[in-house]
Chains A and B, each alone.
Chain A
Amino acid sequence: MAIAVILVAAIALAGCSAPTTVPAAPAKSVNLTGAGATFPAPLYTKWFDEYNKITGVKVNYQPIGSGGGISQITEGTVDFGATDGIMTAEELSKAETKNGPILHIPTTSGSVAIIYNLANIGSGQLKLSGDVLADIYLKKITKWNDPAIAALNPDLKLPDAPIAVVFRSDGSGTTYIFTNYLTKVSQEWSNKIGNAKSVKWPGDIGGQGNAGVAGQVQQIPNSIGYVELAYAKQNKLGWSKLKNTAGNLVEPSLEATTRAAEGVSLPDDMKVMLTNSSNPEAYPIVGFTWILAYVNQKNKDKGEALAQMLWWAIHDGQQYTEPLTYASLAGAAVSKAENAILSMKYQGQALITR
């Protein structure tokens, strides 16, 4: 026990002396709890582990899903929530009538890769545009050799085979980002289906999780599906290029994902989807993932620790994004996130200053 105490003290001391912008360890040992999105969970686990080593602050994060994160922060059972989707007006009013304004603080962004299974057509060879993709998912384009697909791929020999459309059957942030994109590029999608974590899919097969979708696409010939970029990269899945608003064909990459935030005007509250960005280098199906925290913190020590931890996450923490296949925050996204963190208060007093 004594050894453990000494160790913790030593780590805390090491943290203080390290030449970083990390805030000094708080006097009292503070534990923070959070819950929510599964998509950033590997990154958050790494962050909180590193942050604990530096400051001694323990952060317990439960990846129970964005919906769970929103309801937990609404109930006030956790210190912060995490979500891949923007809270709906109904959810916001529920949380804010109870505990006052809530912040959406972006931590990283993710993108959705379109994967397919076509004999003799490798990764990056297939080219698609937003409206064609929407028509495929609407089941209006049902064959691979449809003129609309052929027009985008004059160099490919596309099979005269029906397209097996694979979607995510479980509610997910990935689906939220994907349907958000389709809603922006297709009027018909917007009218008929809409944008949510789970929608009324016209066809064909639902896979459970990224692994389920990827498994179906790999098994079923002539199929198409969508998964998180991180998952596609880690499993070396082939993906299609997508035409962005500038007309460029872009492969999903961390760089193209980060660029997406630069082609969208970011509102101060950061409640914005990065899909269909106007940046010519941006990949079009991109979204932030957010940490949810109340402006008015009820506990001074916890509020301070939370604000410091978030500050660390959007600055020093960003070095861990790329090795874990997440896209880092850049430019305006960081400064707006900073403003959000600086606005956190305890009894009207700012918790941290720049």
Chain B
Amino acid sequence: MDKSRSDTSHSAAVSDIGTASRAHIGDKIFSRLTLIFGLLIVAILVGLLVALNFDAWPAIQKFGLSFITSTEWDPVNEEFGALPAIYGTLLSSLIGLVIAVPISLGSAIFLSELAPQWMRKPCSFLIEMLAAIPSVIIGLWGLYVMVPFIRNPIEVWLGSNLGFLPLFSGPPFGVGFLSAGIILAIMVIPIITAVSREAVSAVPLTQREAMLALGATRWETITRSVLPYCRSGLMGAVILGLARALGETMAVTMVIGNAYVLSPSLFSPGATIASKVASEFSEASGDVYIGSLIELALVLFAITLLVNIIARLLVWRTVSVRGIGE
């Protein structure tokens, strides 16, 4: 692959310069300096983990593993469990992805394969602009514009026609998992679109030309050659979107309804880990209560770390697959 090849030749050139002119102390200082900065970032991560663990210790000690499985959240009696928040985090992110992935992939394919040249740049720019809107503004829009629309007609209609399904049971409050999922979809679409557009654009022209030369239609070229080729890149895009959705706080807090329940209904108000921490942290008192909120943060930390590791692995795989492909 072009990029990795130029990378190796570049680093070779750098070490050449290093051996050729040892007099350059500046280079040495520079490399040490960057090393320190690099280590600093690792130190921040480790420090963060240590500090979170330290502060969460009263809760970890008191509840142990039952913190993960308990559905209780009772500040008065100091009984805390994370399950409804973990469930809410995963469910709202899942809804977000189910909505966002088809839209994002569709627009990425359109922008890199089908759209006329003059449209591509402005359109992708506009989509990326969407990512720059602060989440509190999306949340306000969600609360005052989107939620009333979701309550009536969407939830009212779903409830009266499909209300026999547990998924659409319960009163149509508007706020709840469904609204949170839709807000998340809006927030992750720009990320998934931008990254997957890059992935689709990175497919070598020869792949397309080969398919077309075999007499394939455009549809066949895209589905049988282009998409399989950048499959891992697309997966990476989706997982980056997921990581964003898992940690999103403000907008979700405003539309999810903040009830601490385990409910199969999409209409039910719920809570995510991030929304729970944001809601209660400033007024929490007592070591166990604060510790539990911090332990919630640790759980979220673990979930997003896991997701990021998976994304990293997939992106690495993309790079190596492309390398072989060329």
Contacts and interface: CB of A to CB of B under 8 A. Distances in A.
Contacts of A65: 282-283
Contact of B74 (A91, A200, A219): A200
A70 B258 contact: no
B75 A199 contact: yes
A200 B148 CA distance: 27
A219 B147 contact: yes
Interface string B257-282: 11110000000010100010011101
Interface stretch (B27-35, B171-179, B190-198, B199-207): B171-179
Interface in A139-180: 162, 164, 169-172
B125 interface: no
A88 B259 contact: no
Interface stretch (A108-116, A203-211, A251-259, A288-296): A203-211
B77 interface: yes
A194 B76 contact: yes
Name, among A66, A67, A91, the residue most crowded by chain B CB atoms within 10 Å (CB to CB).
Answer: A67
B151 A219 contact: yes
Contact of B286 (A88, A170, A216): A88
A200 B75 CA distance: 7
A321 to B, nearest CB: 24
A164 B173 contact: yes
A64 B282 contact: yes
Nearest to B79: A200
Name, among B173, B253, B283, the residue most crowded by chain A CB atoms within 10 Å (CB to CB).
Answer: B283
Contacts of A206: 257-259, 269, 271, 279
Contacts of B271: 169, 206
Interface in B59-79: 72-77
Nearest to A37: B283
B254 A212 contact: yes
A203 B283 contact: no
Interface string B117-161: 000000000000000000000000001100110010000000000
Interface in B73-119: 73-77
B175 A216 contact: yes
B286 A90 contact: yes
B285 interface: yes
Would you call the interface of chain A mostly helix, strand, loop, or mixed?
loop
A68 B175 contact: no
Contacts of A91: 285
A40 to B, nearest CB: 15
A205 B283 contact: no
Nearest to A183: B76
Nearest to B283: A171
A348 B278 CA distance: 43
A346 B59 CA distance: 39
Contact of A198 (B75, B148, B174, B259): B75
Contact of B285 (A88, A193, A199, A216): A88
Contact of A196 (B76, B148, B253): B76
Interface residues of A, number: 36
Name, among B76, B275, B286, the residue most crowded by chain A CB atoms within 10 Å (CB to CB).
Answer: B76
B278 to A, nearest CB: 8
A215 interface: yes
A326 B75 CA distance: 29
A203 B143 CA distance: 19
A62 to B, nearest CB: 12
B280 A219 contact: no
A64 B283 CA distance: 9
B174 A219 contact: yes
A201 interface: yes
Contacts of A164: 171, 173
Contacts of B39: none
Contacts of A215: 143-144
Nearest to B275: A169
Nearest to A88: B285
B279 A171 contact: yes
B286 A208 contact: no
A29 to B, nearest CB: 32
Name, among B147, B279, B285, the residue most crowded by chain A CB atoms within 10 Å (CB to CB).
Answer: B285
B73 A200 contact: yes
Nearest to B172: A220
A343 interface: no
A125 interface: no
A67 B259 contact: no
B284 interface: yes
Interface in A179-234: 193-201, 203-208, 212, 215-216, 219-220
Contacts of A64: 282
A172 B281 CA distance: 11
Contacts of A208: 253-254, 258, 279
30 contacts: A65-B282, A65-B283, A67-B282, A67-B285, A71-B285, A88-B286, A169-B253, A169-B275, A169-B279, A169-B280, A170-B278, A170-B282, A171-B282, A197-B285, A198-B75, A198-B280, A198-B283, A200-B72, A200-B74, A200-B75, A200-B76, A204-B269, A205-B257, A206-B257, A206-B258, A206-B269, A206-B279, A215-B143, A219-B147, A220-B174
Given A67-B283, A219-B147, 19 more contacts: A64-B282, A68-B282, A162-B171, A169-B271, A170-B283, A171-B283, A172-B283, A200-B73, A203-B259, A204-B269, A205-B257, A205-B269, A206-B258, A206-B259, A206-B271, A208-B253, A208-B279, A215-B143, A215-B144
Interface of A: 64-68, 70-71, 88, 90-91, 162, 164, 169-172, 193-201, 203-208, 212, 215-216, 219-220
